[in-house]
Structure 1
C-alpha cells in the first residue's frame, strides 16, 4: 500500500507541474484537484487536508493584503509618491528613487499594490522625458521583488515558508522564522540589485513602445489654468526645471503676469508667485495638478478642492445644448451639477482668454471635477453627455493616515521585538480602522484573495503528503547523492536551482510546496541546521527574475512595458545568478 501511495503522490506532482506550466487549469483548481485525488486514495485524511486552513500564516497574509488594499483606497501612497518623485530628473535619478522607495516600502507592505500605484507615475514620467517605459517598468518590478525579500512579511512566499516551518514535524524543536531572519541576505541583495540595475538596466533593457502607445498618443489636449501659490516650490525655477517645457505632458503655452500675457517659448523663463499659467495637457496630467504637491492652484476649482472624494470626468457639450454661447461662469456648474470646470478641449482650436469667460460651443469637451451628487443631477440632462471617468481624487483625513500607517508599523515593530504575535497586532489594526471608519467595513471582504488562501492551504497539505509517504525522503536522497559529494554548499545550490526554475515556469507557491519538504528532509538526513534549508527555498522562490509568469509584479509590467520573455531572461538571469551566489555564501557563513 505504501508503494501505491508513493506512486499516487508522484503522479499528482507531475499533474501539478504540467497543469501549471501549460495553464490547463487555474492554480487554485489545480491544487484542489491534486489534493482531492490524494484524499480519495487515502493518502491524506480529511483533517490533514483541512489543517492548512487553520494555519496562522494564511490569516497573516490575508490581513496584510487587506491593509495594503486599505492603504490603496485612501490614496495615501499615491499622494506620497507624487511628492517624492519629481517631475524632472535624469533617468538614473528617477531609477534610483524607484529602487530606494519601492524597495524600502516592499519590505513591509505588499508589493503588488505598490507597483500598481507606481505604474502610472512611471508611464507619465517616461512620456515627459521621451524615455520608453520599457526602460523603467521592469526595474520597478525587480525593486519590489528585492525589497520583499528583506523581511518575513515582505512577500507572501516568505510567510508561506514560515507556515510550513510551523506545520512540519521533521524538526520538532525548530522555531518559526523571525521578522529579520531574511535581512542578512535580503538587504545586501537589495543594495547589489540596486547597483546592478543602476549601471546595467539602460543597456540591457529594450527601447520599445508599450502596447497602449497608440492610445496615449491620440489623447486630447486640454487647456487648463493654474496659479503659482505664494508658498510654491516652483517660484524662482525655470520652465525647464519645472518640467513644463516638454510638449508630451503639460506644455506651458502662456503666462498671465499682472496685466500682461506672455507667450512662453524660452525654457529658461522664470516663474513668480501669482503667475497664471495656461497649459495644454492630457487629462491624466491635469488631474495630477489637483494634488497638494503640484505647487499650483486651479482657480476654477475653489472650495471643491477641499472635498474628501471627487471624480475627474470628461463631458461633451451636445449640439442642442442650452449652454451653447454661455460663458463658463454663467453656467454655474457648481450649483447646478455639483461640479467645477478644470479644463477645456475645442477640437484642436486654441482657447483664447480666461476659461471662466470662454463661451461654450457644441462639441466642446470639458474636464470636470465632480462631487458625489454629479451623477444624480446630470443623469437626465441633455445639455451634455458623459464620456468617461478619468480619475478618482481622494484627500484622506490625517487621522486615517496615522491610524492605518501608524497601526500597521506598530504591529510589525512589536512583532519584530517578539512582544505580541503579528497575527494579533494586525487583527487589532483591522478592528480599529473599521471602528474609526478609515475604510468601509463592507468593502473589505470583497478584497480578500480567496484563491491565494486556497493555494497556500492546499500546498501545506501537499507537503504533508510528500513527507508522510516518504516521497520527500526519496527525492532528498537523490539530491544528496548528486550534490553532497561536492559539499554542503552544493546541496544548497542544487535546492536553489530547482526551486528557482520551478518558480519561474509554474508559480513560486507551487515551487515552495514541492521543494520545501525535500529541502527539510535533506537537512535532517545530513544532520544539519534546518534554518538555512528553509531560507534557501524562500529566497529562490521569491527572488524570481527570469520570466514574466514567475511573479505577479513581473506579469503586471509585461504588457504595459511591451516586453517579451527574452527581455526578462536577458536582464534576469545575471541577477538570478548573483542572488544565488550571495544567498549560498551568506547562509553557509552564518549557519555552517
Structure 2
C-alpha cells in the first residue's frame, strides 16, 4: 500500500476513536475526515462534495420530513390511546413491539420512540413496574422494523446507493422485507420469552411520571420570613429530617462549598440535591422560595403545571446553558431543577451545560405544554397532553406516506423523487408548519452522510479495500462463501457498535463487494449482510440513537445492553447466515 492508503487507515482509526468516545459531535468528526481527505489530496474536490448531492442524503432528508408529517398530524394518537388502556407491563411490552416494528419500516425510529416513550412511562408508573422492563424492547423493535424496508432507515438507503455505484442493480423497496420480517418476529419472541428475564428488575433511575424523577439539583432562596433564617445548615438538619443534601451556598458573588457552619441570610441561595417530593417538603417547612421562580402558583395566574422534559438525541440544546435556550421567553417556563443521571451537579442551574439525557423539571403554563411537545430539542416525559384531534390531517399524512411507498415500490418514481414529492404534499396539506421542517430536520445525520461518503471513495482509490480483502481471504481460505459472509456480518456489527450504522456502511460496502468478487460470488448477499448488521445495533447504548434515548430514560447500565443485545445479535447472525443465501444465492 502507498502512503495515501496508510494515511486513510490513520484517518479511519482516528474517526473510530472519535465516534466511540462521543466527546466530539458526529457531524464534526465527519467534516474533519472530509477536510483531511481533501488536504492530503486523497480525494478530489468534486469527489469530496459528491456526498451532499448523493441520492441517499437527499432521500434521508425527505424521509425525515415525511416522518415529521406523520408525527405532527396526530396520526399516531389513536394507537397511543389504545395502548394507554393496557395495564399489564408484559402485555404493554408485546403490544409496543408489535405496533412499533411495522411502523418503523416507514417512520423515523427516533420519532417513534420519542412519541411512545411517555406513554410507556405512564403505564409503568400506574402499575409500579420499572421502565427498564419495557423501554429496551421498544427501542429494539424500532430497529427491527427499520431494516424491513429500503426506506426504513438511513443505512439501508446508503447501502443501496453505494451498491449501485459499484454497478449493482438497485434493491426494491420491499426486497429486505422477507428477511426483516422473519428476524423481527424471532427477535420479538426472544425479547418476550428470554430477554425479559435478563432485563433489570429495578433501574438506576426510575422515571414515574407524576412524582419525583431521580435525584434533582435545585436552587432555594432564603426569604425574610424563612424559618431557617439566621440558622446554620447543620442546625437545620435537612439531610436527617428531609433527605435533602446541601451542595453549595451562593451569597451574592460568593460560592461557599462547605456551607454547613454558615448562618443563612436573606437572599442566600442554597443548591440542594434530593428527590423532588423531599425538596418540596423541605422548601415548604423552611418557608424557602424557588430561586428561578418566585411564584409557584399565584392566585389569578393561568394554571401552571410541573413538566419533566429530557434533552433528546442530536438536540440543539446539548452543550448549551439554560439562558441560551430562552425557555422563559418561548414558553414562559421556569426551570426549577435539573437531573443528570450518574452525576451530581455542583453548578448553579444557569451555569449547567446541558447534555443528552439531562432531565429538566420546569413550571409552565398549562396551555404551553402542547407547544413544548413539538420542540424537537426535548422529549416531554410527563404532563403529556393528547394532541388536538385532527383526523383530516392525520388521514392526509397517512395517505401521502402510503402513496410515496406505493410509487417507489412500483417503480413509478425513483425513491428520492417520490420522497420529495411526498414531503411537498405534506407541506401543502398542512401536516407540519413552514418552519417545523427546518427546525426538526436532523441536520447532524444529513451532514454526517454528506461528509462521510467520500471516505468510501478514498478506501477504493487508495487500494485499501483490496488490501483488507486480501487479509480477510487469508483467514477465510478455501472454506467457501458462507464463512466470508460471516466475516462481513461480524465486522460490520462490530464497527456499528463503535461508530454508528452509517459510517460502518460506508466502510464496509466496498469491502464486502470486493470480497464477493474475489471468490467469484454474487455481491448482493454480502451487501444485504452489511445492511442488516448495521441496522440492528443492540449491544451498546451508543450504537443507535433509540438505544441512547432509552438508556437515559430507563436508567439502564451499559452492561444491560450487552446482556440482552449480544445474544440477540448472535441470534440474528445465525439466522442471517441461514436465510441470506436462500433469498439471495451466492451463485444465481
Normalised by the size of structure 2, how large is the TM-score? 0.70
Alpha-carbon displacement from aligned partner over 1:163-215 (angstroms, at most 9, x marks no partner): 212333xxx3x111211221222110011011101111331100123525488
Larger deviation, residues 570-579 vs 453-462: 453-462
* 1:104 corresponds to: 102
**1:141 aligned residue (139, 142, 162):** 139
Partner of 1:487: 480
The structure with the largest alpha-carbon Rg is 1
Q: Residue in 1 aligned with 2:527?
A: 534
Quote the Cα distance in structure 2 between the aligned partners of 1:216 and 1:399: 33
Distance 1:200 1:389, change over 3 A: closer
CA distance in 1, matches of 2:509, 2:435: 37
CA displacement at 1:403 relative to structure 2: 1.6
Question: Taking structure 1 as reference, are residues 394 and 549 closer, same or farther at Cα in structure 2, changes over 3 Å only?
Answer: same
Contact 1:166-1:176 at 8 Å conserved across structures: yes
| CA distance in 2: counterparts of 1:513 and 1:193, whole angstroms | 26
2:172 corresponds, among 165, 178, 182, to 178
Tell me, in whole angstroms, the C-alpha distance in 2 between the residues paired with 1:218 and 1:544.
32
Shift in CA distance, 124/463, structure 1 to aligned 2, threshold 3 Å = same
Asked whether 1:56 is paired with 2:55, we answer: yes
After superposition, the C-alpha distances for 1:57-92 in whole angstroms (9 at most, x for unaligned) are: 211111111221232223331x12333214234333
- Structure 1 pair 394/22, CA: closer, same or farther in 2 (3 Å)? closer
Q: Does 1:409 align with 2:402?
A: yes
Q: CA deviation at 1:439?
A: 1.8
Question: Are 1:423 and 2:416 counterparts?
Answer: yes
Give matches, 1:548-587, under 5 Å: 548-587=541-580
Name whichever of 197-206 and 133-142 sits farther off: 197-206
C-alpha displacement of 1:146: 0.8
Q: 1:164 aligns with which of 153, 162, 165?
A: 162
| 89 and 54 in structure 1: CA distance in 2 versus 1, 3 angstrom threshold | same
Aligned runs of 1:207-286 on 2, under 5 Å? 207-209=201-203, 211=205, 213=207, 216-218=210-212
Q: Does 1:6 align with 2:16?
A: no
Structure 1 position 437, deviation (Å): 2.6
Match of 1:438 among 431, 445, 448: 431
Any stretches of 5+ residues in structure 1 without a counterpart?
220-314, 324-336, 344-365, 375-387
Q: Distance in 2 between matches of 1:587 and 1:218?
A: 48
Alpha-carbon deviations, 1:449-477, whole Å to 9, x = none?
Answer: 22211211222211011111110011011
Q: For residues 180-579 of structure 1, what are the structure 2 equivalents within 5 Å? A: 180-209=174-203, 211=205, 213=207, 216-218=210-212, 317-318=297-298, 321=299, 370=367, 390-391=383-384, 393-579=386-572
Distance 1:429 1:11, change over 3 A: same
Query: How far apart are the structure 1 equivalents of 2:66 and 2:398?
Result: 9
- Cα displacement string for residues 283-332 of structure 1 (whole angstroms, at most 9, x for unaligned residues): xxxxxxxxxxxxxxxxxxxxxxxxxxxxxxxx9553xx5x6xxxxxxxxx
Worse-superposed segment, 547-556 or 49-58: 49-58
Change in Cα spacing, 1:340 to 1:91, as seen in structure 2 (3 Å) is: closer
| Alignment partners' CA distance in 1, 2:452 and 2:154 | 13
SS of residue paired to 2:2:
helix
Looking at structure 1, the residues matched to 441 and 365 of structure 2 have their Cα atoms a distance apart, in angstroms, of 33
Taking a change above 3 Å as real, the CA distance of residues 416 and 115 of structure 1, as seen in their structure-2 partners, is same
Equivalences for residues 103-122 of structure 1 within 5 A: 103-122=101-120
State the secondary structure of the residue aligned to 1:559. Answer: helix
What is the count of residue pairs matched by the alignment? 440
TM-score (ref. length: structure 1): 0.70
- Larger RCO (CA under 8 A, 6+ residues apart): 2
Deviates more, 1:511-520 or 1:471-480: 511-520
Shift of 1:136: 0.5
* Aligned-residue offset at 1:157: 1.1
With 509-518 and 492-501 compared, the bigger mean Cα shift is at 509-518
| Residue 40 of structure 1: aligned partner | 39
Structure-2 separation of matches of 1:417 and 1:552 = 31
Aligned to 1:68: 67
After superposition, the C-alpha distances for 1:323-382 in whole angstroms (9 at most, x for unaligned) are 6xxxxxxxxxxxxx8x79999xxxxxxxxxxxxxxxxxxxxxx9986499x9xxxxxxxx
Indicate if the aligned counterparts of 2:100 and 2:141 stay in contact, CA closer than 8 A: yes
For residues 207 and 467 of structure 1, do their structure 2 counterparts lie closer, same or farther at Cα, with a shift above 3 Å needed? same
1:62–1:462 distance in 2 versus 1, CA, 3 Å: same
Q: Distance in 2 between matches of 1:340 and 1:473?
A: 67
Q: For 1:121-132, list aligned pairs within 5 A.
A: 121-132=119-130
Q: Is the 8 A contact 1:208 1:561 kept in 2?
A: no
CA distance 1:42–1:80, change in 2 (3 Å): same
Q: Residues 28 and 371 of structure 1: is their aligned pair in 2 closer, same or farther, counting only changes over 3 Å?
A: closer
